[in-house]
Amino acid sequence: MLRSKRDSSDRGVSTRLVDLFVARTGEAGKSPQIIIEDLVEDLRRQTGSASARSLDRYLEARNVVEHLCDADIGCDGYIEPVGASFAEGFRLVLNENASPVRQRFTVAHEICHTFFYELVPELKFAPHATDDSEEALCNHGAAALLMPAQDISAQASGKDVSLATLEELAERYEVSIEAVFLRLRGLKLWNCEMSVWHRMMSGEFVVSRLYGWLKADWRWVDDSVPNRAWSQKGGVPVAGKSFVYFERSDNLSAAGSVFFQIKRRGDSLVSLWSTRKLGGRDNGANQRRLYKV
């Protein structure tokens, strides 16, 4: 049986930086993900910001004293200390060409980096390489800041598991549908998969990003599924049941029947798929897995 890889929000991360971060919060019995969520929730309470729509209070509370935009930074954004201590504050630089939604998530992500500067200054204020575990935790914290657990749980309650629900929640929280999907999975409110498909010059569709399942080059057995979605007018999703599969050079392969919703989004296709029927309000936690063949 093939089990899906866990989302980055569920992985047990452990580096020296993360270990010190956890130890200094006094919450050694908790996972790093829960700790970053707790810190974000404390920040929300301290600032009196019941809504995460405006991030200005959070920036002020975390001592971000400069906020700049630059079109030539080559990344979404970064934060850097102004001086040699947390008390001297930080400079936030955003990519001017990034979309407002992307900028918003980047701001929330960089706010979370300030917790590491505050708690582990001997590592963060010294020259250091990017820590992938820290980056994953800051993504997790950004999602928690922008989509508070209690609020998104209430908003998702009673709504169909569908692309339409993802789009509705993305508009509410001013984030991408990918961010909403990962938050819903992380909170165990949804248990399905999301994939983004790229159209090749040959006309074939291949997975460019996949959230949830084993990361592999999944394909549709029935090519008419993505082709119908590509040509569908009015942004209406194509829905139904079909088969997906992958084969790898290491002899690992899998195939299975899935329910799906898929629609065109610009130059790509976005889809939800699951071994349980989509559209209902209970996608279940005991979803069947795709089988090794």
> For 146-176, how does the pLDDT look when each residue is reduced to its tens digit (9 = 90+)?
999 999 999 999 999 999 999 999 999 999 9
Arithmetic mean of pLDDT, 95-110: 96
CA distance 186 to 212: 10
Write the CB contacts of 104 (distance below 8 Å, at least 6 apart in sequence): 55, 146, 174, 175
* Among candidate residues 106, 20, 28, the one with its CA nearest the CA of residue 67: 106
* Among candidate residues 26, 89, 30, 33, the one with its CA nearest the CA of residue 62: 89
First to last CA, the chain: 9
CA distance 93 to 96: 9
Does residue 181 register a pLDDT over 80? yes
Arithmetic mean of pLDDT, 77-85: 96
CA distance 187 to 180: 11
Question: What pLDDT does residue 291 have?
Answer: 35
In the chain the domains, ranked by start, together with CATH numbers, are: 8-146 (1.10.10.2910), 190-292 (3.30.450)
Query: Across all residues in the chain, what is the average pLDDT?
Result: 86
Q: Using only C-alpha atoms, what is the Rg of the chain?
A: 21
CA distance 65 to 130: 23
Arithmetic mean of pLDDT, 1-24: 61
For CA atoms 118, 183, 93, 58, the dihedral sign is negative
The structure's pTM equals 0.84
CA distance 38 to 115: 11
From the CB of residue 114, how many other CB atoms can be counted at a distance below 10 Å?
25
Question: What pLDDT does residue 150 have?
Answer: 93
Question: What pLDDT does residue 9 have?
Answer: 40
Decide: 160 and 234 in contact? Cβ < 8 Å: no
